[in-house]
């Protein structure tokens, strides 16, 4: 009977005990928000509280592990004598009765975990020495000063800077040992000593290319901005690697260096290249309720003749599925041939042929187009191009047919500091801008000679630090667009050369091309000779795959760049993002703030790949 009673009592106790044991965190501030945030980000108690249930005794073990973990964080900030005290239900972690107390808790009761930090004295630096024969220029590279806090990250980074500096000076196999810290026995002060062995200064000897199949080695060697005999430089080698990756046929590159200099003080460099598949097929699709659906396919040959030439053929069906700004289905086809490093490095030549048919409320267009573009990369962020464009088109607008032959000479200057390899990638910082001037001669009825000037710019701010968010999760994106046509009035310009506002490129929430001057009888868009538009969009990423955005767009299309308040239209909206390896899938809903004509819809929906800008 006694045994049965004991088993029964144990069963009742186990049924009531909390296993896993829920718990709450009580953090006492150190007085330094940066330290507090780092401690919480490092703590497993904090990080695993909602995702990894733990038993009562497991909770005690997790807390004990956090003591050493948090001490390491405090050491990194220069508080080498800080004390970390973690208690559970006001009992120390070594209290023999703590485990039994937690086991006796009712099932729903949360244990209270308290973390208290006593920082004590902040250690500071006094003397910083370099032990070794180094060039004079290396003395100031450490950027450590007497009296500065002895922050471990700053000290270690100083050693890395010194090593990188020596390697850039040609000491390919220099060694910088982890610094040795000497503590003053009477004060919270550290003296540092960096032991350095520079080794011999080296130059680059043979440059070897391995792994090529169809791509000609001559093309690769001309692309590499390295020469035999130049001073060894890790940054120059890395620039050469990145430049090679910009060649379409190359998928990946691994750089191999010798482990020591040869008898002449030289180091061979080997680029191990892996080519991408020669051919690629991609499909694309998008939808908006003003332009309807679009879907297409493209075929690319990344290496036509072995010199990294690229041929891209694409065809899309557009304006199907009943867009409110369209009157029928159209097509958009093109063939592009690109020759990189044309006549000189960082200069490409592109030849494009295309055909398009679109039936819009503003006009119906059928056109054959061609262009010749010479593009030169001026720097890591600036690119310039000179173009010759030609088009033969038939346009129907407001019941009148027009035939035009156009010849243009656009000059384009592009700035891009986002450093993204694809326009579909999600920009998190930096800016993009395009400045273009396009003198154009139009033969038709009437003939016209005009110049179209445009400025498009977008900038991106990572504002996560202001919102207690991780880097890259919270982004404020801004864009602006201004354009003007000079030399001809609105009705003298071919309809497709005029400016229209409304749609995803300018003012979301308004039907494509619906903002601006209209014909008096039909109310359909006429198009203007000037446009101004701007957008602000806040993008928040919530998980690995999901995010959201809210935005506001505004602008006008008119006869001049001067803003006219009663002509400005504003749209607002929100959307969701699903992030994929090739870019975010975007779904946006936008509303107009003013219904000013029968061509203003109640809302607009936009679905596509990549951010709106």
In a domain, 2, yes or no: no
CA 167 to chain centre: 30
* Distance of alpha carbon 613 from alpha carbon 603, whole angstroms: 20
Residue 171 belongs to domain with CATH number: 3.10.20.310
pLDDT at 535: 98
- Do both 354 and 394 map to the same domain? yes
Q: Single out the residue in 275, 301, 333 at which a domain terminates.
A: 275
**pLDDT on residue 571:** 97
Decide if 5 is inside a domain. no
Domain boundary among 197, 219, 242: 197
Give pLDDT, residue 8.
36
252 shares a domain with 109: no
Looking at the fold, whether 175 and 245 belong to one and the same domain comes out as no
Domains: count for the chain = 4
230 and 128 assigned to the same domain? no
Q: Which residue has the tokens 């000491």?
A: 171
The parent domain of residue 249 ranges over: 203-275
> What pLDDT, on the 0 to 100 scale, is given for residue 18?
58
Specify the CATH number for the domain of residue 88. Answer: 3.10.20
Q: Is residue 50 part of a domain?
A: yes
For residue 124, the model assigns a pLDDT of 95
> Is residue 219, in this structure, part of any structural domain at all?
yes
- Whether residues 172 and 321 fall in one domain: no
Q: What is residue 13's predicted lDDT score, i.e. its pLDDT? A: 43
Which pLDDT belongs to residue 140?
84
How many whole angstroms separate alpha carbon 421 and alpha carbon 343? Answer: 24
Q: Which of 509, 534, 9 is nearest to 290 (CA)?
A: 509
Residues 386 and 504 in one domain: yes
Q: Do 283 and 271 fall into the same domain? A: no
Residue the block writes with tokens 């309807």: 292
Domain match, 218 and 301 both: no
Domain CATH code at residue 346: 2.40.160.50
Do the domain assignments include residue 1? no
The predicted structure's pLDDT at residue 14: 41
Confidence (pTM):
0.77
DSSP string, 223-288: H----TTSBP-HHHHHHHHHHHHTSTTEEEEEEEE-SS--TTSEEEEEEEEEEPPSEEEEEEEEEE
Sign for the CA dihedral angle at 461, 463, 465, 471 comes to negative
261 and 285 co-located in one domain: no
3 within a domain of the structure (yes/no): no
On whether both 271 and 400 belong to a single domain, the answer is no
Report the greatest alpha carbon distance in the chain. 111
352 lies in a domain? yes
Are 423 and 362 within one domain? Answer: yes
Query: Domain end: 239, 257, 275, which one?
Result: 275
Residues (pLDDT < 70) of the chain are: 1-18
Nearest to 202 by CA among 230, 240, 176, 225: 230
Tell me, yes or no, whether 222 lies in a domain.
yes
Whether residues 370 and 462 fall in one domain: yes
């Amino acid at each position: 009977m006694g045994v049965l009673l004991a088993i029964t009592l144990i069963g009742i106790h186990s049924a009531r005990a909390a296993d896993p044991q829920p718990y709450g965190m009580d953090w006492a501030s150190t007085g330094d928000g940066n330290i507090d945030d780092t401690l919480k980000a490092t703590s497993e108690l904090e990080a695993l509280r909602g995702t990894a249930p733990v038993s009562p005794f497991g909770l005690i073990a997790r807390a004990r592990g956090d003591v050493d973990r948090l001490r390491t964080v405090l050491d990194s900030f220069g508080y080498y004598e800080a004390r970390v005290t973690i208690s559970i239900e006001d009992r120390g972690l070594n209290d023999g009765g703590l485990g039994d107390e937690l086991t006796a808790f009712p099932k729903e009761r949360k244990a209270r975990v308290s973390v208290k930090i006593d920082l004590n004295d902040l250690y500071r630096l006094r003397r910083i020495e370099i032990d070794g024969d180094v060039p004079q220029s290396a003395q100031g590279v450490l950027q450590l000063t007497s009296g500065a806090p002895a922050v471990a990250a700053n000290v270690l980074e100083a050693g890395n800077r010194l090593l990188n500096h020596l390697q850039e000076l040609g000491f390919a196999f220099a060694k910088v040992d982890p610094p040795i810290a000497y503590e003053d026995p009477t004060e919270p002060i550290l003296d540092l000593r960096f032991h350095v062995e520079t080794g011999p200064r080296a130059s680059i000897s043979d440059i070897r290319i391995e792994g090529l199949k169809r791509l000609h080695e001559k093309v690769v060697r001309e692309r590499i901005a390295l020469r035999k005999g130049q001073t060894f430089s890790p940054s120059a080698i890395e620039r050469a690697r990145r430049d090679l990756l910009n060649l379409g046929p190359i998928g990946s590159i691994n750089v191999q260096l010798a482990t020591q200099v040869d008898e002449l003080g030289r180091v061979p460099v080997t680029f191990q290249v892996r080519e991408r598949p020669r051919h690629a097929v991609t499909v694309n699709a998008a939808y908006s309720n003003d332009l309807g659906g679009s879907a297409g396919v493209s075929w690319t040959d990344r290496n036509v003749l072995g010199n990294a030439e690229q041929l891209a053929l694409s065809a899309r069906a557009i304006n199907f599925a009943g867009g409110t700004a369209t009157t029928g289905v159209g097509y958009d086809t093109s063939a592009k041939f690109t020759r990189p490093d044309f006549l000189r490095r960082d200069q490409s030549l592109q030849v494009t042929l295309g055909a398009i048919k679109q039936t819009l409320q503003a006009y119906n267009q059928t056109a054959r187009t061609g262009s010749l573009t010479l593009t030169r990369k001026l720097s890591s962020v600036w690119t310039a191009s000179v173009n010759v464009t030609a088009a033969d088109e038939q346009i129907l607008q407001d019941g009148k047919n027009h035939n035009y032959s156009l010849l243009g000479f656009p000059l384009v200057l592009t700035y891009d500091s986002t450093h993204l390899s694809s326009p579909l990638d999600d920009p998190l910082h930096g800016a993009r801008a395009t400045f273009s001037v396009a003198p154009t001669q139009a033969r038709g009825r009437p003939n016209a000679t005009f110049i179209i000037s445009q400025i498009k710019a977008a900038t991106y701010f990572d504002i996560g630090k202001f919102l207690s968010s991780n880097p890259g999760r919270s982004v404020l994106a801004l864009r602006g667009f201004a354009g003007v046509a000079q030399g001809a009035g609105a009705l003298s310009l071919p309809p497709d050369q005029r400016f229209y506002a409304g749609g995803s490129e300018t003012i979301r929430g308004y039907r494509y091309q619906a903002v601006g001057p209209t014909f008096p009888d039909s109310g359909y868009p006429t198009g203007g000779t000037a446009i101004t538009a701007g957008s602000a969009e806040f993008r928040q990423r919530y998980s690995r795959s999901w995010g959201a955005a809210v935005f506001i767009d505004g602008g006008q299309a008119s006869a001049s760049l001067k803003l006219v308040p009663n002509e400005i239209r504003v749209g607002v909206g929100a959307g969701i993002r699903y992030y994929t390896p090739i870019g975010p899938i975007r779904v946006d809903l936008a509303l107009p703030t003013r219904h000013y004509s029968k061509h203003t819809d109640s809302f607009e929906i936009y679905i596509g790949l990549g951010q709106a800008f």
